[in-house]
Amino acid sequence: KAGVTQTPRYLIKTRGQQVTLSCSPISGHRSVSWYQQTPGQGLQFLFEYFSETQRNKGNFPGRFSGRQFSNSRSEMNVSTLELGDSALYLCASSLEGQPFYGYTFGSGTRLTVV
């Protein structure tokens, strides 16, 4: 079956702009989590959606938001981009909201803010 699909793969944006990233989970997976990865901070949890509801949220400012649709596809949005938002954004899906038993990750979206 198809893996986790993230689009786009690469993005270059200017400070102050906003960006929307998309993630399609593995078919049947209802939980989608988002992570930010930077060399300095490592993997930082952004939020998790399960059945269209945000179930968990990491420690990020309100500029970072997300949503999940009825088909489990998820989007995350970052408004008023800052240089420090440059990172690899990873989406991960899991069965029935059980990352306990492992995630399947997408290839990520590389965001560069200039």
Partner 1 sequence: SQQGEEDPQALSIQEGENATMNCSYKTSINNLQWYRQNSGRGLVHLILIRSNEREKHSGRLRVTLDTSKKSSSLLITASRAADTASYFCATANMDSNYQLIWGAGTKLIIKP
Distance CA 53, CA 48 (A): 8
- How far, in Å, CA of 59 to CA of 82, rounded? 16
Q: Is 46 in the site for partner 1 (CB under 8 A)?
A: no
Closest by CA to 20, choosing from 41, 6, 3, is 6
Which of 20, 22, 56, 79 is close enough to bind partner 1 by CB under 8 A? 56
CA 53, 56, 61, 66 dihedral sign is negative
Closer residue to partner 1 in complex, CB, 75/88: 88
Site residues for partner 1, window 57-86 (CB under 8 A)?
none
Tell me which residues in 87-106 interact with partner 1 (CB under 8 A): 88, 90, 92, 97-106
Binding site for partner 1 (CB under 8 A): 4, 6, 33, 42-43, 45, 48, 55-56, 88, 90, 92, 97-108, 110
